[in-house]
Amino acid sequence: MKKFFGEYLLLNLFIFGCVSLLSLVILNFSIFDPFTEAFHDFTLTDLYYNKVQDKNNIYNKHLVLINAENKSRKELAFLLQQIQEVGPKVVALDIIFAQRKNEDDSLLQQAFNKHDNYVLGYAANFEHQEASIYTDTFFTKTKDGYINVAGEHAEFSTIRYYYPFNKEQEAFTSCILKKFNPATYRELKKKRNRQTEIHYYGNLANFNYFDFDEVMDSGFDVTQLKDKIILIGFLGIPSQRGTAQLEEDKLFTPLNTRLSGRSYPDMYGSVIHANILRMILENDHIRVIPRWLTAVLSFLLIWLLLPIMCGLFFKGDLWFNSVGTLLQLVGSLLVVFLTLLTYSYFNLKFDPGLLLACFVLLPTFINLYEALLNFLRHNLNISFHSAFLGTNNHA
Instruction: Tell whether 139 is covered by a domain.
Output: yes
Domain boundary at 262, 285, 308, which? 285
Domain boundary at 260, 285, 310, which? 285
Instruction: Tell whether 393 is covered by a domain.
Output: no
Report, as an integer, the average pLDDT of 254-265: 75
Residues 6+ apart with CB under 8 A from 119: 90, 91, 92, 93, 144, 145, 172, 175, 176, 179
- Whether residues 278 and 353 share a domain: the answer is no
- Whether residues 31 and 104 share a domain: the answer is no
Average pLDDT, the chain: 86
Instruction: Tell whether 395 is covered by a domain.
Output: no
Per-range mean pLDDT, top range of 90-94, 187-191, 254-258, 389-393:
90-94
Parallel/antiparallel/unpaired status of strands 250-251 and 118-122: unpaired
Report, as an integer, the average pLDDT of 319-339: 89
Return the minimum-mean-pLDDT range out of 42-51, 100-109, 131-140, 208-217. 42-51
- Whether residues 33 and 143 share a domain: the answer is no
- Whether residues 132 and 248 share a domain: the answer is yes
Name the residue range of residue 175's domain.
53-285
Per-residue pLDDT at 318 exceeds 90: no
Report, as an integer, the average pLDDT of 136-142: 88
Instruction: Tell whether 24 is covered by a domain.
Output: yes
Domain count, the chain: 2
pTM of model > 0.85: yes
Domain boundary at 269, 285, 301, which? 285
- The whole-number pLDDT of residue 21 equals 87
Which among 175, 127, 172, 131 has a CA at the least distance from the CA of 148? 172
Share of the chain above pLDDT 70, in %: 87
- Whether residues 88 and 188 share a domain: the answer is yes
Per-residue pLDDT at 54 exceeds 70: no
Please tell me which residue, 392 or 292, carries the higher pLDDT value. 292
- Whether residues 23 and 121 share a domain: the answer is no
Rounded to the nearest angstrom, the gap between the alpha carbon of residue 395 and the centroid of all alpha carbons in its chain is: 46
Instruction: Tell whether 119 is covered by a domain.
Output: yes
Residues 6+ apart with CB under 8 A from 207: 58, 59, 63, 65, 271, 274
- Whether residues 76 and 216 share a domain: the answer is yes
| Distance, CA of 149 to CA of 146 (rounded, Å) | 9
| Distance, CA of 284 to CA of 7 (rounded, Å) | 44
Please tell me which residue, 67 or 98, carries the higher pLDDT value. 67
Would you place residue 178 in the very low, low, confident or very high pLDDT band (cuts 50, 70, 90)?
very high
- Whether residues 113 and 11 share a domain: the answer is no
- Whether residues 281 and 193 share a domain: the answer is yes
- Whether residues 172 and 249 share a domain: the answer is yes
Instruction: Tell whether 362 is covered by a domain.
Output: yes
Instruction: Tell whether 384 is covered by a domain.
Output: no
Which among 1, 55, 61, 48 has a CA at the least distance from the CA of 274? 61
Classify the C-alpha dihedral 323-326-330-335 as positive or negative. positive
- Whether residues 119 and 206 share a domain: the answer is yes
Would you place residue 393 in the very low, low, confident or very high pLDDT band (cuts 50, 70, 90)?
very low
Would you place residue 48 in the very low, low, confident or very high pLDDT band (cuts 50, 70, 90)?
confident
Instruction: Tell whether 79 is covered by a domain.
Output: yes
SS3 call for 314: helix
Would you place residue 353 in the very low, low, confident or very high pLDDT band (cuts 50, 70, 90)?
confident
- Whether residues 274 and 307 share a domain: the answer is no
